[in-house]
């Protein structure tokens, strides 16, 4: 998802409800893909962190990322080294490792099946921890 065009998308992004508007847009794209003959199993969605969204919009979407599971396709979360982290943490791109791992970990915890990252080794370690906790949580819910 992207609001606006690349040259101007960050000038004044506006949503009444960013999560619902992005979900509606993506649901429409999923429907279009299926109607065009694309197999449902070949579709993934990307809410578009950083693309025509303010700092608040990005973190609202991350806070509600599990809602995108309602669309019943894998969710890709790509926040690594994004300006949303730089603006929040006041860090240059090469100083955002802790923020990158935090958002990747939260995305994994909230159900993102695909996480785009730059710092692969460190993120894999963090996501392994999340996956272990999720496995125990899921086992306790089945009791």
Catalytic residues: 82, 116
| Measured distance CA(110)–CA(101) in Å, rounded | 14
| Measured distance CA(70)–CA(127) in Å, rounded | 22
Pairing type for strands 114-116 and 76-78 reads parallel
Tell me the backbone φ, ψ of residue 8, rounded to 5 degrees: -125, 0
| Letter string b/e over residues 11-48, b meaning 16 or more CB atoms within 10 A of that residue's CB | eebebeebbeebbebbbeebeeeeeeeeeeeebebbbb
What dihedral angle (degrees, nearest 10) is formed by the CA atoms of 127, 129, 133, 135?
70
């Amino acid at each position: 998802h992207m609001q606006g065009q690349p040259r101007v998308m960050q000038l004044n992004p506006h949503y009444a409800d960013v999560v619902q508007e992005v979900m509606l847009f993506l649901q429409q794209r999923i429907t279009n893909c299926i109607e065009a003959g694309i197999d449902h199993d070949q579709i993934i969605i990307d809410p578009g962190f950083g693309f025509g969204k303010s700092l608040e919009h990005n973190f609202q979407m991350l806070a509600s990322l599990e809602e995108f599971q309602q669309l019943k396709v894998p969710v890709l979360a790509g926040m690594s080294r994004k300006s949303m982290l730089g603006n929040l943490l006041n860090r240059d791109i090469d100083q955002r490792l802790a923020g990158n791992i935090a958002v990747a970990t939260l995305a994994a915890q909230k159900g993102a099946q695909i996480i785009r990252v730059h710092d692969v080794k460190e993120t894999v370690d963090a996501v392994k921890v999340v996956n272990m906790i999720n496995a125990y949580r899921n086992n306790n819910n089945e009791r």
